[in-house]
Amino acid sequence: MSAPLTNLETLAIQGGTPVREKLLPYGRQSLDDADLQAVVEVLKSDWLTTGPKVDEFEERFAEWVGARHAISFSSGTSALHGAAFAAGLRPGDEVITTPMTFCATANCILYQGAIPVFVDVSADTLNLDPREISKKRCFRTSSRLKAIIVVDYAGHPAALDEVGEFAKQHGALLIEDACHALGAEYRGKRVGSIADMTVFSFHPVKHLTTGEGGMVTANDATLAETLRRFRNHGISSDARQRQATGQWYYEMVALGFNYRLTDIACALGLSQLKKLSTNLARRREIAAYYAAAFRSVPGLILPSVRAEADPAWHLYPIRLDLASLTGDRGQIFRALRAENIGVNVHYIPVHLHPYYRERFGHGEGECPVAEAAYERLISLPMFPGMTNADVGDVVRAVSKVISHYAK
Ligand SMILES: Cc1ncc(COP(=O)(O)O)c(C=O)c1O
């Protein structure tokens, strides 16, 4: 990897030569011939929808994260919906969650008619701040709290012990949105084995892809059975009952959905699972390289890692120290894009989206730490297929743009 540039080349946005000729995306899937072969084999088999690959993928996935049960879903979003349903959320219930996430985390609360209560994040990890929870008025005066949904932002596990303790004290379930964090560890345990329910996404930019897809892991057998039913129209999957009454018989016992993941997708997931540890190691290597390269670049605040955490680095979000720069996030973002670095921003705080403002009256000032972070955040490219030259290009482009805007 080449050394960072610190000179004042003309920025591409001002007519200079871009650091790269072709745009480097912020994330992308890593597929190989074995993945393609696994899918082709299923296409030639008798099963396209729910067949043997679904059970096999769920079993292997549960083993990998160290959970008793894994229930596949058609997306991370439907998996979140399943978790919200299994937590028993009903209209009027309250659920604490973080604003620093993709809107699906909070939307699943609304799907059940429950009320999301946004609690601000810690300034270092941008994960839900346990100290902020008890400050929320509603939890001091009501007992409608049913669940807390934390997010492992960028792949750094949330404060699972502290939040989990609060949830337990209030008779609420802890749901972990680990869509960024497959492979992350918290106090030496993989996420997926810790919270009451943990939700994963298999979107192509994530650690493992099935195209669209998701999973919920849980240790509790009742939660697992509720999740299984929910993703299959609410139909009971009790095999003993079927045997007693005839193979044709089934009962719909709850209102569910068709949120099933196909055998085609699960075959891809199984094949991808074999490469997960290698891909995770590469993400960690890239994060370490970025950290070393940017440590001495003034104007940048790098993601911090707490002692109890080993992040999975879905994203590498840097924050701009605006006080030491002459440009704002928008200018620096556009300048990096002009250098053909596919930077992105994660996230617009959920409570600031028009739907949440207009429907629930949310607005600025509710979560000052998340809102200030949003003004400063830029996600750099991070995916295992990045070559050393790609990583070097990102470092060169960031150094070039930041040195241009340095005070
Ligand atoms: C934190 C988080 N939660 C949930 C989701 C939804 O996952 P999916 O796109 O698989 O529906 C995403 C997707 O990007 C996410 O980043």
Note the Cα 341 to chain centre separation in Å. Answer: 22
Which residue from 125, 187, 170 is spatially nearest to 150, judged by alpha carbons? 125
Distance 84 CA to ligand 1 centre (A): 15
Q: Is the CB of 177 under 6 A from ligand 1?
A: yes
Contact residues for 283 (Cβ-Cβ < 8 A; gap 6+): 155, 207, 312, 313, 314, 382, 383, 384
For the chain, give the mean pLDDT: 94
d(CA 354, CA 375): 17
Distance 153 CA to ligand 1 centre (A): 11
Distance 353 CA to ligand 1 centre (A): 16
Pocket test for ligand 1, best of 72, 80, 102 (most atoms within 8 A of CB): 102
Which residue from 315, 342, 339, 319 is spatially nearest to 329, judged by alpha carbons? 319
Pocket test for ligand 1, best of 75, 107, 156, 179 (most atoms within 8 A of CB): 179
Distance 298 CA to ligand 1 centre (A): 32
- Paired with 316 in beta bridges are 380
Q: For 161-180, how does the pLDDT look when each residue is reduced to its tens digit (9 = 90+)? A: 999 999 999 999 999 999 99
Residue 258 DSSP one-character state: B
d(CA 34, CA 19): 34
Distance 83 CA to ligand 1 centre (A): 14
Distance 76 CA to ligand 1 centre (A): 5
Q: Check residue 6 and give its pLDDT.
A: 45
Nearest CA to ligand 1 atom 7: 76
* Radius of gyration, alpha carbons of the chain: 22
**Which atom of ligand 1 is nearest the CA belonging to 205?**
14
d(CA 122, CA 137): 19
For the chain, what's the residue count? 407
Q: For 324-383, how does the pLDDT look when each residue is reduced to its tens digit (9 = 90+)? A: 999 999 999 999 999 999 999 999 999 999 999 999 999 999 999 999 999 999 999 999
pTM: 0.96
HSE, CB side, 13 Å, CA atoms: give it for residue 1. 19
Q: Is the CB of 76 under 6 A from ligand 1?
A: yes
Nearest CA to ligand 1 atom 8: 76
Q: For 21-67, how does the pLDDT look when each residue is reduced to its tens digit (9 = 90+)? A: 999 999 999 999 999 999 999 999 999 999 999 999 999 999 999 99
User: Does the structure show a pLDDT above 60 at 248?
Assistant: yes
Residue 148 backbone phi and psi in degrees, to 5: -125, 125
d(CA 65, CA 213): 17
Q: Is the CB of 314 under 6 A from ligand 1?
A: no
Pocket test for ligand 1, best of 26, 74, 77 (most atoms within 8 A of CB): 77
Q: Is the CB of 152 under 6 A from ligand 1?
A: no
Residue 50 DSSP one-character state: S
Q: Is the CB of 379 under 6 A from ligand 1?
A: no
Whether 336 and 327 have beta carbons less than 8 Å apart is answered as no
Nearest CA to ligand 1 atom 14: 102
Whether 58 and 374 have beta carbons less than 8 Å apart is answered as no
Q: Is the CB of 82 under 6 A from ligand 1?
A: no
Whether 28 and 383 have beta carbons less than 8 Å apart is answered as yes
Distance 102 CA to ligand 1 centre (A): 6
Residue 378 DSSP one-character state: E
- Paired with 70 in beta bridges are 217
Q: For 76-112, how does the pLDDT look when each residue is reduced to its tens digit (9 = 90+)? A: 999 999 999 999 999 999 999 999 999 999 999 999 9
Residue 319: C-alpha distances to residues 294, 299, 300 (Å): 12, 8, 6
Mean pLDDT, rounded, for 253-275: 97
